[in-house]
Amino acid sequence: MLFLISKLVIVKFIVANLYAVIMKTLYLIRHAKSSWEYDLPDAERPLNDRGKNDAHLMGKFLGDLDKTIDLVMSSPANRAYTTAKIITKYLGVKEENILINKDLYDFSGNQVLKVIKSTSDEIERLLIFGHNHAFTSLVNMLGDKYIDNLPTAGFVEIQFEENEWNNISVGKNLLSIFPKMLKK
């Protein structure tokens, strides 16, 4: 009798999981505040002091959440890549594991969306560092909650009930955290 009940439980578990949807989770982080102090090309602008402080603040907070990340990508812009290096230290991601993708140096969101949708389906949790207006547009296009603006160093987590990145549409905003929310 016990053997029969165990078999029934196992069969129910297998059948239930046949229909389980693998979730895709997208984490978007806008680069921290950059400096306009230097006469540099846009892609070379560094973070200013507030930007560095906010990146560390967000990194500490996100590190405490213990989120799993399968892949990290960053715009090649200095301000985005520096933000990525600071924050990912708190997430346990080594700098050499941050992939720089030139298509993330995008301000409309079209190229970023192509990058997201072309991500390998083996990746379930994707973290991207990039720019506005692209990121605010993507949050509002892909998420279920409208935001006016994704501020510098702002973080948004969107989860999709989807097995393939290419098929994502509107997902569920699970978390939005901005530096000002963490400051006392």
- Cβ within 8 Å of residue 168, ≥6 positions away: 24, 26, 116, 117, 142, 160, 162
User: Over the Cα atoms of the chain, what is R_g?
Assistant: 19
pLDDT of residue 50: 98
Strand partners, 175: 157
* Cα–Cα distance, 30 to 164 (Å, whole number): 24
Number of Cα atoms under 13 Å in the Cβ half of residue 155 = 29
* Number of residues assigned to the chain: 184
Task: Report the 10 Å Cβ neighbour count for 182.
Answer: 13
Helices marked H in 22-158 — which ranges? Answer: 49-65, 78-91, 110-117, 134-142
Beta carbons of 177 and 61 less than 8 angstroms apart: yes
Q: Look up residue 165 and give its two tokens.
A: 């990145």
From first to last of its 184 residues, the chain has per-residue pLDDT tens of 544 444 444 444 444 444 456 799 999 999 999 999 888 999 999 999 999 999 999 999 999 998 999 999 999 999 999 999 999 999 999 999 999 999 999 999 999 999 999 999 999 999 999 999 999 999 999 999 999 999 999 999 999 999 999 999 999 999 999 999 999 7
Alpha carbon of residue 172 to chain centroid: 13
Domains of the chain, each with CATH number or no CATH = 21-182 (3.40.50.1240)
